[in-house]
Structure formats: structure tokens, C-alpha cells
Chain A
């Protein structure tokens, strides 16, 4: 079992709390992505795991062994950095072997063998005798990953490894990283601010905000059933529309209304929603779950149209809230139009106004929850 477990991890820099009580569990062989906006503490969390920072409180365990005070080199982790961190005066080969030579646990022939093996996996055999300045960004990052590979660590820690690459190369390297993990099955913690990277790479994704983990879940569950308003708005491109409204009962059905707009919830409504009738709630609906409907209850003044090719993204104002709608491509919409829209009743989310915690997802698919999430929900209900 070579997972990573952190317990109530806290890191304060002077009066700033970067990491605030993080409990994270990366399972053996899992690819877990830690995603969040810049400054949310995700890189600090990674550095705490690597041992480059020491925690203010809490513990870190790798492979069931408490390594909170262990030096970075004794944790058996390998790290890949955003700026590659290759030594500019050494060849690619030397960069890959430099760390191994210090370890002194490998013979020369073993080192050569490992480098050859890693180079073959990453397809960089021809580049081994070049210095970093003679390599492109993508090639440099491959060498950096190769350097991590040759160490054959218990855990890979990756700190935004693709952020310095151009968009096309990033997509390609992303696929290669996924393939590499499929092949090696080494426990990996991957930090990124790019939610697309997070969704595509992660077995599970941990969303972090303001030093705290908001939710840990498989990508699709994260998308379908965000546990907090922040996760809802952060995951997805663009994120979920959220608007504050009042929960009202009208005859048999329950509506969320704001201004002259209203969205009805599918009946029957669960007790948790029924008990909040009359309260303020936050309604969440994804851009692709809104559709054009001439008799629709929602009117939106169009301010921007963004043709994305496979869809048409329309921004506009509904009441006094900005909303985004994803429509089929080539829909005739112009700036200044008023769109009549309706929301898919099976894809409606409600969040608490104060805490932002989710109250209700109307989708049926959400019923299947991961054991992790059940545990978290239990913990939340007890506190």
C-alpha cells in the first residue's frame, strides 16, 4: 500500500494560512488531481507532501509511514516541476542520472539500464546527449519526467507540469501522461489550475479553495453533483450558472423564483427541499442544461455570443444576474436579442445561501455516490 494520507494538514506563512486542515487520501496506484484557482494552497499542499515545506500542524504519511519530519530525499518521492528544473549545463542523460548517482544504491550498469528504459518509454532516446537549451519545451518536460521515472519512486508529485507548454502540446502531453500512468500505475498527485486537465487526467479530482478541500470525487461525479457552490462554478468550461432566489410552493410543484424568472423543480420534491420552502437558496444550472423554448419561463438579454464550433456559447443578463447558455452551433442569435429559455428539470442543483453546501441535485444518476463522498457527507451531517 503506497498511498498518501494527510491528516488535518495546516501550513501558515506569518499571518496567511495557505493550507487549512487538509485531509487527503491518495489511494495506492491512483492518479489524483488537486485543482483550484491560483493561491488556493494546492502547490503548498504538494510541497508539504514532498517535504519542501514543513507543516504548521498535522501529519503526512506515505505508504502508511509517518513522514511528517522526514527529509525530502528519504520520502522516496519524485517531483516534476512547472519550469522543468533541469540543470542547464548537463545533458539530458546527466540530468536524469544526477540524482541516482548520489543515492549510491545503484551500480553504473543499473543506472544505464534505467535511463535506457525511461528514454524508451518517453521516446527521448535521440535527445539524451543534448543539453536543455537544445530541447523544445515539450522535450524538456519529457526529460524532467524521465528524471522522475528513473528513480522508480513510490509516489510521483507533479506541480503544473504542462502549464508552460503551448495549448496543442499540452493536449498531447496530457494524453501521454495518462498513458504513462496506465502503464506504470504509480501513485500520483498532480497539481493544476486547469480544470480540463484535472477532469481528463484524474481517477479522482480534489477541488481546493482557500486552503480547504471542497470535494474529492471522480470527474463525472464532480461535474454532475458538485458538493459546494464553488465546485459547481469552478468545474466545467464555462462553469455552472448560479443565482440566488426564493423557494416557493405553487400548487403541487416547487419553484425557485428571482425577479420575474422562475424555475420549477421536478415533483415529487424530497423532504429536504420541502422543508426549506420560503427560504433563500442558490439555484445552479449548467449552460448546456438551458435550452431555447419559445414558451420558456426564462428571458435573457444577450450581451455576447461566442461561437465555439461544436456549440454556440451565449452570455447574457437574466434579471440582474449574468448567465451563460450553450446552444447548438449556428443558432441564429444576435447581441441585443431576448432569448426565451427553459431549464432541464432533471439537471437542477440547489445550494445553501450561507454555506454554499449543496442541498439537492435533481439528476437521477447522482444517486450512486462514491464511498468517499458518503463518508464526507456523514462527517458533515454530524458536525
Chain B
């Protein structure tokens, strides 16, 4: 009896294998789906592709709607953006700001999450909900009082003002808290019995066990910080200290006779895009893990 059933299951498996190999020989079995996917990806990527094309074109070429080939300016737009318009220093400013925000945000959130998960204190849940409540007050909502505060502290035009408001993050605390809660209690208890102190536990156990979550969060934070526009625009008036997103706005006003030099702007845009893109590509794995999308 049992032998018979084994035979039949082996037989169906073989047949399935056979059909799978014959199906993929000429065209993917679901070629319509593939076509649809390629089409929608092209639609979504079209602004980026157009930006890249325009970044190589001269002003008249940009205004020729039908001209979507690589333009005649080549890399001169890129060179000009760097040399004449100081894109390099904007990018360095942005980089410094993003790295400081990322490092500070992760450190503070780690400590907050450790306190929320592994310590018992009064009103723990209320405090957690209070932290979540701050999600409703992002920087743009608080911009006027924040600016007043920075002015009073004399921090305007400094890195402190640029990064300070971003250091506390409810999202990061929430994600780390959820992750820490999935760590078995017995690990913590075992550490307690071994006499492992809280900071050593954080450094030697929690951080290595949360490596994926931390790198994922870092990527998100880095990109978020890199893309900030409104707050830097307000709090930094010194053009040398400005970040890249605001720097792009300066490019808008450099064209001849009121005509915007779109080639130049697009070159700046493509350059601005590169660091976050690089971060995304490098940390793709942990990022997917952070949001539970990986298998």
C-alpha cells in the first residue's frame, strides 16, 4: 500500500518538473504578466530617466519635447554644477547632516527602546504612547516655535540647528521596541544571572542581535535626513552652510534672461539622487528585513 502511494507521488513530481522545463524554453510561461510589469516599471521610472536625459542636454534641446536622446552637452552640465555652483560643498554639508542625524537618532532610540522593554517603571505604557503621540507633530508642524527656539539658543546657521530637531524619533523607538520584545525573556534572565550589566547586554547582545533592524533603520533615516528641505531652508541662511536640496533651489535662479537652465538643474538632481540610491542598493537586505518583507 505505502509503496504504491510513494510511486504515484514520485510520478507526479516528475511530470511537474517536465512541464516546468518545457514551459520556460521559449518564452516565460506568464509572458503577459512580465510585459505588464516591465511597462509599469518604465512608467514609474520615466521621471528619473527623463531627468538623466535632460541633464545631458542644452537649454534649447530641453525645450524640444520630442528630443529624448542623450544631448550634446554631455558631462559639461555636471562639471559646471560642481565647479561654478558649489554642488560639492552642498553635498558634503548634506552628508554631514545625514550621518549625524542617523547616528544620533539610532543611539537615542536604542536607549529609549531598551528602557521601554527591559526595565520596569511606573507609567511605562503611558510614556510609550506619549512617544508615539509625537508622530503627530513632525518638524514642519513645529517649524515656527522650533525656529524661535533655535534663534533664542543662537543655534541658527549651525549643524546643531540642522540636526537637533531630528534626533528623537518615535518611529525608530517603536520599531526597535517591537524588535526587542521578540527577544526571549530567558536571554535577558540568563544575562541577569550571569551578572551581565545593562550596557554590556545592549552592546554585546542586543545590538548584534538587531544588526538587520539597525542597518535598515539607518538607511531610512539617512535618506529621510538627506531629503530635508524646508527646515534647512529656514534655519540656515548662510549659503556656504546650506544642504543639497536647498542648493538645488539656488540652481533654479542661475539661467540666462529668466530662462531656467533645466539641464543644469537635472544634473544637480541626478547627483543629489546618487548617495541615497547607493545606500539603498548596499543595504537592500537589512532594509527588507526591517519591514518584514524578506523571506
Contacts and interface: CB of A to CB of B under 8 A. Distances in A.
Contacts of B187: 85, 87
B249 interface: no
Contact of B193 (A79, A84, A89): A79
B289 interface: no
B205 interface: yes
A72 B186 contact: no
Contacts of A52: 189, 192-193
B181 to A, nearest CB: 16
B196 interface: yes
A83 B186 CA distance: 8
B184 A85 contact: yes
Which has the most chain B C-beta neighbours within 10 Å: A51, A84, A89? A89
B208 A89 contact: yes
B190 interface: yes
A73 B192 contact: yes
A96 to B, nearest CB: 11
A110 to B, nearest CB: 16
B196 A83 contact: no
Interface in A61-75: 71-75
B196 A102 contact: yes
Nearest to B200: A102
A351 to B, nearest CB: 38
B195 A102 contact: yes
Interface in B117-134: none
A77 interface: yes
A258 interface: no
DSSP majority for the B interface? helix
B183 to A, nearest CB: 9
B182 to A, nearest CB: 12
Nearest to A100: B194
Contacts of A74: 195
Interface residues of B, number: 17
A78 to B, nearest CB: 7
Nearest to B195: A73
Nearest to A104: B195
A19 B205 CA distance: 32
Given A73-B192, A98-B204, A85 B186 contact: yes
A103 interface: yes
A98 B184 contact: no
A85 B189 contact: yes
A85 B190 contact: yes
A99 interface: yes
Nearest to B187: A85
A89 B183 CA distance: 13
A145 interface: no
B186 A50 contact: no
A16 to B, nearest CB: 18
B209 interface: yes
A98 B194 contact: yes
Nearest to A89: B208
Contacts of A75: 193
A100 B193 CA distance: 11
B193 A72 contact: yes
Given A81-B186, A87-B187, A50 B193 contact: yes
Contacts of B208: 89
Contact of B190 (A71, A81, A89, A103): A81
Which has the most chain A C-beta neighbours within 10 Å: B190, B191, B196? B190
A112 to B, nearest CB: 18
A147 B190 CA distance: 10
A84 B208 CA distance: 19
A238 interface: no
Which are the 5 A-B pairs with shortest beta-carbon distances? A99-B194, A73-B195, A85-B186, A81-B186, A85-B190
Given A73-B192, A83-B186, A102-B195, 4 more contacts: A50-B189, A72-B193, A102-B196, A151-B194
